[in-house]
Structure 1
Amino acid sequence: MTTTTYGIAVIPGDGIGQEVTPAALEVLDAAARRHGVAFTRTTYDWSCATYLREGAMMPPDGLDRLRGHDAIFLGAVGAPGVPDHVSLWGLLIPIRRAFRQYVNLRPVRVFEGVPSPLRGVRAGEVDLVVVRENTEGEYSEIGGRLNRGFPDEMAVQEAVFTRPGVTRIVDYAFTLAGTRRGRLTSATKSNGIVHTLPFWDEIVAERAAAYPGVTWDQEHIDALCAKLVLDPARFDVIVGSNLFGDILSDLAAAVAGSIGIAPSANLNPERDFPSMFEPVHGSAPDIAGRGVADPIGAIWSAAMMLEHLGHPRPAAEIVEAVAAVLATTDTRTPDLGGSATTSEFTEAVLSRL
């Protein structure tokens, strides 16, 4: 068997990122090698500890070091003592923007053996994807603070929606819906936000004409949050702005049973730059160092990386192995009501592979 080798950059980061990253990479290697796929890894110790020690989350040439890799795997970012806007804008967001990772992809499933906190939601019924615009929108850098320390102090933050930016994320979402159940929901708030969201709605309607096989509608974000709780099974692909997609994907992960099982991919679909894969859960400093973090989000993110690199079969085998452990054993980490350690759950997945 001919072996295909990829170079990946690994940034374990902070907190439980240091614990779930090795687990995910162990599962990744086990699944990949059976299909003639291998990885060379370069680990970068960039984290909040780096910031406290050196005054920056990553070195000045950090992006150049990452640029030549086929993909990036990130564990988590954030730690007590470092403001979140410092850690995110010092590492995660610069990577997303420099490498044009404008698609943030977050799949959500209710697995057999993982009860949803919602009454009546059964395994297999909830299977959706949130497609989040990842590089502009409400998370722009335009704005500032004025009159600091005075009674009339103010802060201004400008949202930026460009026609190319909205068009490319909407096209991606329509295309994805066409490969799934053929239904797209657009998150908006054009009844209250007078400029940017009507602009978003107009582009969604324009682009819909190019995808006649996809049924679509739009929902105001407040009503959409309610419907995602009341009837999550109705949704297939949800597309939203940077802020709306961020909120909806975390809400959907909670509907599925735990944010600890949620994966994500930051994609540059044109593959001009490396894409980045990370669990959604964050650094969880309250449980860091105890060895009980749920590795599912990281393992599933590794599977998404495999699929992005062109190997859907081993990627699917990883997700199937996770699903089998949940469905047929009582091996669970504490966030899912069990007592297994990170390594014990990882071993159970490896045995399924």
Structure 2
Amino acid sequence: MPRATTPESARLGLLVGDGIGHEIVPATQRIVDTAMSAVGAPPIEWVDLPVGLDAIAAHGSPIPDQTLDALGDLDGWVLGPHDSAAYPAAFRGQLTPGGTIRKRFDLFANIRPARAFAGVRATVPGMDLVIVRENTEGFYADRNMHTGSGEFMPTPDVALAVAVFTRRACERIAHAAFDLASRRRRRVTVVHKANVLSLTTGLFRDVCLEVGAQYPGVEVRTEHVDAMAAHLVRRGAEFDVVVTENMFGDILSDLAGELSGSLGIAPSINASQTQAMAQAAHGAAPDIAGRNRANPTALMLSAAMLLDWLSGRRESDELGSAAERIRGAIVHTLEAGVATADLGGLASTAEFTETVGARILRW
């Protein structure tokens, strides 16, 4: 039986960010609006919120309190890239806007697909996997302390770092991975380094295996992170869902994105049980900002992931159909050889967006 659709319009935050965000965020908004209209869904209610350099100029902070407060009342958010290196010195040592949002709203699951597309040259042409990255703990100094940093220096010549792994965090990311795998090809690879970090990543591995036992239809295996990096290069097409801790997930997902073609086509969402944020895996690319050359693919695909996430939350077939139209239109656009310069193509940001939008309408 088809799922019920919901008549209410989704309310999504739109945070342009820095650099090429000023081009790829409006392009993504246009594509989402086109897809929603094409499936007969209520239009998205977009809420523009200041973030990044523009927010510093207008509000004295790269992530103003009014932006954070407003995000809590929305269904989800689309976040453009940030260029923290260009911020005034007083802000460079602080959490990035994205990091502040993740911490404020406990977006514990960073879901990063890596898929090779026809028409895009890939080192691993058959790759189609998803890396599920724990997003709140691990070795990252900005995420493992309630107050302060997980890095410290007892003397000028000694630097120390604290890693945090809790059963609760391991369990919830494992459930996210196994639930996703049960809707894909039913295989999960748990990545760790328990031969060296036996207590920390050993806990992560063991808890993931305990959770995996609750999903008897899903095959599970384990890999050390160094071996996993080699496996992705040699036989990356064999993997389905990969679950790992924060730092390993960050590194492996960038590697997988490049192996599948480019970080320019690598999407992601950051999600909790109640909220989610679409955010491309790449940066702000200030060197090409304002030149109509940026590749909006990753953020468009991230927005499609957000629509899928909302579809599950709202039991809305329309949102899922809009997401599928976006993905399908991008696949066919790239397959036809229409691509931006980073992928070897000649299309501008505007031309690529125009082509994707036209294909959505012809679906």
TM-score of the two chains, using structure 2 as the length reference: 0.89
Match of 1:63 among 54, 64, 68: 68
**Shift in Å at residue 3 of structure 1?**
4.7
User: Measured at CA, do residues 54 and 147 of structure 1 come closer, stay the same or move farther in structure 2, by a change above 3 Å?
Assistant: farther
Match of 2:198 among 180, 187, 194: 194
Q: Which residue of 2 aligns with 1:143?
A: 150
**Shift in Å at residue 145 of structure 1?**
3.0
Q: Which residue of 2 aligns with 1:170?
A: 174
Q: Are 1:229 and 2:237 matched, yes or no? A: no
**Shift in Å at residue 135 of structure 1?**
1.3
CA contact (8 A) 2:121 2:261 kept: yes
Structure 2 distance, partners of 1:160, 1:52, is 36
Following superposition of structure 1 onto structure 2, how do residues 294-313 of structure 1 map, counting pairs within 5 Å? 294-310=295-311, 311-313=319-321
CA displacement 1:42-86 (0-9 Å, x = unmatched): 112210353467552122343212100111110111244337993
CA displacement 1:19-63 (0-9 Å, x = unmatched): 100101100000012222311111122103534675521223432
Following superposition of structure 1 onto structure 2, how do residues 1-353 of structure 1 map, counting pairs within 5 Å? 3-35=7-39, 36-51=41-56, 55-82=60-87, 86=92, 89-116=95-122, 118=123, 121-122=124-125, 125-139=126-140, 140-141=144-145, 142-146=149-153, 150=156, 152=157, 154-269=158-273, 271=274, 274-310=275-311, 311-328=319-336, 330-353=337-360
Structure 2 distance, partners of 1:166, 1:33, is 39
CA contact (8 A) 2:110 2:269 kept: yes
Structure 2 distance, partners of 1:136, 1:88, is 17
Moved more, 130-139 or 81-90: 81-90
**Shift in Å at residue 157 of structure 1?**
2.0
CA RMSD after TM alignment:
2.1
Instruction: State the one-letter code of the partner of 1:105.
Output: I
**Shift in Å at residue 202 of structure 1?**
1.4
Matched residue SS, 1:8: strand
User: Measured at CA, do residues 2 and 275 of structure 1 come closer, stay the same or move farther in structure 2, by a change above 3 Å?
Assistant: closer
**Shift in Å at residue 147 of structure 1?**
5.4
Matched residue SS, 1:56: coil
Structure 2 distance, partners of 1:267, 1:147, is 36
Structure 2 distance, partners of 1:294, 1:66, is 26
**Shift in Å at residue 168 of structure 1?**
0.5
User: Measured at CA, do residues 175 and 25 of structure 1 come closer, stay the same or move farther in structure 2, by a change above 3 Å?
Assistant: same
CA contact (8 A) 2:49 2:67 kept: no
Instruction: State the one-letter code of the partner of 1:317.
Output: R
Task: Give identity over the alignment, percent.
Answer: 39
CA contact (8 A) 1:143 1:155 kept: no
Matched residue SS, 2:177: helix
Structure 2 distance, partners of 1:315, 1:255, is 24
CA contact (8 A) 1:9 1:43 kept: yes
**Shift in Å at residue 144 of structure 1?**
4.0
Matched residue SS, 1:186: strand
TM-score of the two chains, using structure 1 as the length reference: 0.91
Moved more, 39-48 or 17-26: 39-48
Structure 1 distance, partners of 2:215, 2:78, is 33
Structure 1 distance, partners of 2:90, 2:331, is 33
